[in-house]
Amino acid sequence: MSREGVEHALRARADERDRISGDLLDLESHTTYQLLKGASLRGATERRWAAAQESLARLWGLNDAYRLVLRDAEQLRASRSRIGAEQLAELTELLAGASVVLKAAAKPVEQRSLLPQTDERLTLDETVARMDAAFQQVTTALNDIDAKWNALLPRLDAADADLRRIRELERELGESTPGLASEEAELKRIRADVVTDPLGAAVEHDLDRLARLLAGSMAELDLAIVVKREFGRRREDLVAALDRVRAAESEARLAHGAVVVKIALPPQAQPRSRVDALAAALDALDVSADSWVQRAKRLAGLENDARRAAEQAQATARALYGLVGRRDELRGRLGACQVMAVRKGMAEDPAATALFDRARALLWTAPCDLTKAAAAVEDYQRAIHGGKA
């Protein structure tokens, strides 16, 4: 190396040494590194971190040997104001030659040989490359462990928050949630797995299921508290809803009574009342010893049943009255077909007349068989249209 090359190399290596020192200090101050230093690990994480620590030990050993060579070079350069030929050769050897000496590591007796162990010699560039490889192994392990913790610990914290909220709601209700103790124990088990072995903890499925269970329990308790606070008002509303069911069912019975004398109805067309069963369910709810969670479910179910019962009764009444409308519509069609028969000169046709008389008899007979009457009107319509409907 030239004198200028030596001076440049010394400055570059000094900058490199400072940068490496800064990176190593940043590594040791890394939050995950600090957590792992005092952590009790196991499984895949314990093995991965043990390998990373071996890499870190090699890294520090390489760094010490690297810094020792640079210190010798800097001291040699500082010993004279002007670099002489002998000094230049020594500096060239230190900065460009295999000047970094790595002592042969002591081995267990079962791995030793009776042959002499030789030290390894590296250039500064080779030393830096090895340090970088060891540094990458350590940081990759840190990143992998940190990524798992960052993905799972916030979810565990959220589950813990849900659990605390459930306990608060239980205290407000004065009731306990069945199965919550086992869910709490499972949450502790999952956290222990994640903290001690994040790389080997296959807990995502269990955590998903537990989060759903806790969310469901919390939703039920929230609803129970609302029901407890609003039970009186909602009970009054339900009583009013049952009155509407009674009114709707009464209208359906009236419709059946009015229609059954005009239209032939099957036995199953008789409206069935649900209001008595709903009222009995409400009375049972009043004296129930169930938890508020269960009472909330039963009350919500009764509210839905009452609404559906009223809607069904109203739909039944409309359908029954609709049958009379259907009969009247068939009567209108029959009259229109008769007018068409006159226009076509078929008013005296014996076959058409017989079909007309049969359809008219069915439509003006009480109670009317709508199925037969509709078929008879269709037959008459086809006859006057030459066999086409």
Q: Residue 112: its pLDDT value, please?
A: 67
> Which pLDDT score is estimated for 129?
96
Is the pLDDT at 389 greater than 80? The verdict is no
pLDDT at 220: 87
Q: Give yes or no for a contact between 327 and 333, defined as CB atoms under 8 angstroms apart.
A: no
Is the model's pLDDT at 388 over the cut of 70? Answer: no
What local confidence, expressed as pLDDT, does residue 103 receive? Answer: 82
- pLDDT per residue over 90-124, tens digit each? 888 999 899 998 886 666 767 667 766 777 899 99
> Could you read off the pLDDT of 236-269 as tens digits, one per residue?
999 999 999 999 999 999 999 999 999 999 999 9
User: pLDDT per residue over 69-95, tens digit each?
Assistant: 999 998 988 887 778 788 888 888 999
Q: By three-state DSSP, how is residue 309 classified?
A: helix
- pLDDT of res. 106: 66
Domain chopping of the chain, boundaries? 3-105+117-148, 156-226, 229-324, 325-384
Q: Give the whole-number percent of the chain exceeding pLDDT 70.
A: 97
- What is the rounded average pLDDT for all residues in the chain? 91
How confident is residue 49, by pLDDT bands cut at 50, 70 and 90?
very high
Which of 156-160, 177-181, 311-315, 355-359 has the lowest average pLDDT?
Answer: 177-181
Residue 309 is predicted with a pLDDT of 96
Give the Cα separation of 218 and 214 in Å (integer). Answer: 6
pLDDT digits (tens, 9 = 90+) for 297-353: 899 999 999 999 999 999 999 999 999 999 999 999 999 999 999 998 887 889 999
pTM above threshold 0.75: no
pLDDT of residue 313: 96
The closest alpha carbon to 12, from 73, 53, 57, belongs to 73
Q: Please give the pLDDT value at position 274.
A: 95
61: Cβ contacts below 8 Å, ≥ 6 apart? 102
Lowest-confidence pick of 22-36, 79-93, 108-122, 360-374: 108-122
- Block residue for tokens 């076959």: 351
- Taking a C-beta distance cutoff of 8 angstroms, is the pair 152, 207 a contact? yes
pLDDT tier for residue 175 given thresholds of 50, 70 and 90: confident
Helices (H), the chain: 3-29, 31-37, 43-78, 85-96, 124-173, 180-196, 204-260, 275-286, 292-343, 350-363, 370-384
Q: Across residues 45-58, what is the average pLDDT?
A: 94
SS3 121: strand
